[in-house]
Structure 1
Amino acid sequence: MEKVKLGTSNLNVSPIGLGTMAFGRWITEADSDAILTHAVNSGINLIDTADYYGPGQDEKPAYGDGTSETIIGNWLSHNPGARSKIVLATKVGSNTNPVMSNPTLSREHIRQQIDSSLERLQTDHIDLYQAHLFDNGTPLAETLTTLSDLVDEGKIRYYGVSNYSEYQLKLALGIIKDRRLNPLTSLQNRYNILSNHDDSAVLKLAQRSHVGFLAYSPLARGVLTGKYLNGAMPANSRAAQGEPLIKEYFNDADKKAVSKLKTISDDSGISMSQLAFAGVLSIPGITTALLGASKVSYIDDAIKAAELQLPQSVLTQMKSL
């Protein structure tokens, strides 16, 4: 796959990235290793994780134990040539304490977590370190200054933010400019053909500001593959395993949209998942779509989607979903 520049950084990333939220949560370490190996061998170089990802996400209160980072770190240690081939991204700011549900992006917390992430990932630097969500309890300037300082110290190469609204991104960009901090490299937000109206304003701001955009959940947590059509509930699917975030897509409007996508797929001969991926990647300003693969075969399907040039007639139909 042809690589594209992420924002104004020197990071060249694949249009399909590998999201690892399920590593150690629903996917064993052995299967995670196979997915990582196949992804990198297939040309995917952006590996995205978080200090929050792991089985603790399904507890109450939800917390992260860094299992996903640990699995990736173990894989890197067994594949010593892989580190130089990948852009390693992780996040900070979601709850990592099983007895506390009040995450923070304070200077103290970030500095604790960066060292823990580096240890779990078995690396001396992180290519892209991202604030996982906006923290209303910490001054934004404190968060951004800390991230910028980590760039100067060499612990991270670049930093980004995730799950930011247009207003929040505008605030961040203003602080970075006023304080002459290292620039913001990327924004990672949900973006798919069911939810794109929610993020169109912040995407346009990111594009105008030369901030790269990483789109997570391009398949709407598997809904856009068609696996849940007509009320189906496949065994071992995210919905069957009780993921709460998928429930928001089980509404009448989205069900109708998925049915329409199935018709477009049948008429065009392009799979629903490939249409969903290609549709996201066709939108100006989106750098990379993140695939949460649970099987090696899903990687091949996503790569095919990245190479598609959808006919204008198909794009027009998809915009009407």
Structure 2
Amino acid sequence: MEKVKLGNSNLKVSQIGLGTMAFGRWISEADSNAILDHAVNSGINLIDTADFYGPGQDEKPAFGDGTSETIIGNWLSHHPGARSKIILATKVGSNTNPVMSNPSLSREHILQQIDSSLERLQTDHVDLYQAHLFDNDTPLAETLTTLSDLVDDGKIRYYGVSNYTEDQLSLALSIVKDRRLNPITSLQNRYNVLSKHDDQNVLKLAQRSHVGFLAYSPLARGVLTGKYLNGAMPSSSRAAQGEPLIKEYFNDADQQAVEKLKTISDQTGTPMSQLAFAGVLSIPGITTALLGASKASYIDDAIKAAELKVPQSVMTQIKSL
């Protein structure tokens, strides 16, 4: 698979990355290992996780115990040569307390969590460490200075931010410049053909600022595969498993867009998922689309999408959904 430069860094990442939000949540460790095996063997080198990912995401209050990181760390321990071949990314800042909500990007919390993540991942550094979401209760300069210091300490190679708006990213970039901090390497935000309008401005800012863009949820949590058309609810699907964030796509406008994508799929003989991936990867400024694969076969589909040559007339239809 083609590798592309991530922002202003020296990292070369695959155009399809593996997102591991479901590891240990509704995907067993054995199945997670099989997915990791297949992804790496297929040329995917970006593995994205977070200290929040695990079964606690579905509790109230939602919390993270690092189960996904633990699974990846165990896999790395059984594949001694794999660490040097992958770009390992994790995130910090979501709630990690099972008793009460305590999301934080304070210096104290970040320094505590990076050590915990490194222990679970069984590595001495992560390649990309990302602020999981904007923290309104912590001065942004404190967060960015701490992340920059971790680069100097060698615990992380680069850092990025996630779920930032245009204004938030603009402010962060200004602080980095004014304080002469190590640069922001990446922005990880949602981007798919249904939600594209939400992130166009921040994507353009990232592109102008040489910040790589990691697009998560390129398949709209599976909605763009067509599996939920006409009210269908597959028993093994995210919606059936209780994924709350998928509900926002269950509206008339998005369902009509999915029906149009199915028509394009039927006319071209190309699976809906591949068209959706291709639509995201065709957008200038997007570096990588993150696939939250629950089956190894989904990886093959995504890789085909990265290699797909979609006629411009068809791409225009996809972008107009």
- Write the deviation string for residues 221-262 of structure 1: whole angstroms up to 9, x where unpaired: 000000001000001100001110000000000000000000
C-alpha RMSD of matched pairs (Å): 0.4
Alpha-carbon offset, residue 109 of structure 1: 0.1
Task: Name the amino acid aligned to 2:72.
Answer: I
Return 5+ residue gaps in structure 1 as ranges: none
SS, match of residue 17 in structure 2: strand
SS, match of residue 240 in structure 2: coil
Task: Name the amino acid aligned to 1:155.
Answer: K
SS, match of residue 287 in structure 1: strand
SS, match of residue 44 in structure 2: coil
Alpha-carbon offset, residue 320 of structure 1: 1.9
SS, match of residue 298 in structure 1: helix
- Corresponding position of 1:293: 293
8 Å Cα contact 2:34-2:296 kept in structure 1:
yes
SS, match of residue 103 in structure 2: coil
- Corresponding position of 2:125: 125
- Corresponding position of 1:84: 84
Q: TM-score, normalised by structure 1?
A: 1.00
Percent identity, aligned pairs only, is 88
- Corresponding position of 1:206: 206
Q: Distance in 1 between matches of 2:99 and 2:136?
A: 20
Q: Distance in 1 between matches of 2:8 and 2:148?
A: 15
SS, match of residue 47 in structure 2: strand
Alpha-carbon offset, residue 318 of structure 1: 1.1
Q: Distance in 2 between matches of 1:24 and 1:92?
A: 18
Q: Distance in 1 between matches of 2:320 and 2:306?
A: 22
Q: Distance in 1 between matches of 2:96 and 2:299?
A: 29
- Corresponding position of 1:51: 51
Whether 2:195 is the aligned partner of 1:192: answer no
Whether 2:251 is the aligned partner of 1:283: answer no
- Corresponding position of 2:155: 155
SS, match of residue 186 in structure 1: strand
Q: Distance in 2 between matches of 1:236 and 1:266?
A: 24
Task: Name the amino acid aligned to 1:315.
Answer: M
8 Å Cα contact 2:6-2:186 kept in structure 1:
yes
Q: Distance in 2 between matches of 1:318 and 1:38?
A: 29
Q: Which runs of 4+ in 1 moved over 3 A?
A: none
Q: Distance in 1 between matches of 2:320 and 2:177?
A: 38
- Corresponding position of 1:315: 315
Q: Distance in 1 between matches of 2:94 and 2:294?
A: 23
- Write the deviation string for residues 128-168 of structure 1: whole angstroms up to 9, x where unpaired: 00000000000000000000000000000000000000000
Q: Distance in 2 between matches of 1:167 and 1:99?
A: 32
Alpha-carbon offset, residue 102 of structure 1: 2.7
Q: Distance in 1 between matches of 2:90 and 2:70?
A: 12
- Write the deviation string for residues 43-69 of structure 1: whole angstroms up to 9, x where unpaired: 000000000000000000000010000
Q: How many residues align?
A: 321
SS, match of residue 185 in structure 1: strand
- Corresponding position of 1:233: 233
Q: Distance in 2 between matches of 1:60 and 1:139?
A: 27
- Write the deviation string for residues 70-110 of structure 1: whole angstroms up to 9, x where unpaired: 00000000000000000000000000000121300000000
Task: Name the amino acid aligned to 2:32.
Answer: S
Mapping for residues 84-123 of structure 1, pairs under 5 Å: 84-123=84-123
Task: Name the amino acid aligned to 1:286.
Answer: I
Mapping for residues 14-29 of structure 1, pairs under 5 Å: 14-29=14-29
Q: Distance in 2 between matches of 1:270 and 1:178?
A: 48
- Corresponding position of 1:36: 36
Q: Distance in 1 between matches of 2:57 and 2:276?
A: 26
8 Å Cα contact 2:96-2:102 kept in structure 1:
no
Q: Distance in 2 between matches of 1:296 and 1:237?
A: 15
Mapping for residues 211-230 of structure 1, pairs under 5 Å: 211-230=211-230
SS, match of residue 110 in structure 1: helix
SS, match of residue 18 in structure 2: strand
Task: Name the amino acid aligned to 1:170.
Answer: S
Task: Name the amino acid aligned to 2:259.
Answer: S
SS, match of residue 248 in structure 2: helix
- Corresponding position of 1:140: 140
SS, match of residue 182 in structure 1: coil
Task: Name the amino acid aligned to 2:211.
Answer: V
SS, match of residue 247 in structure 2: helix
Q: TM-score, normalised by structure 2?
A: 1.00
Q: Distance in 2 between matches of 1:17 and 1:290?
A: 4
Return 5+ residue gaps in structure 2 as ranges: none
8 Å Cα contact 2:8-2:211 kept in structure 1:
yes
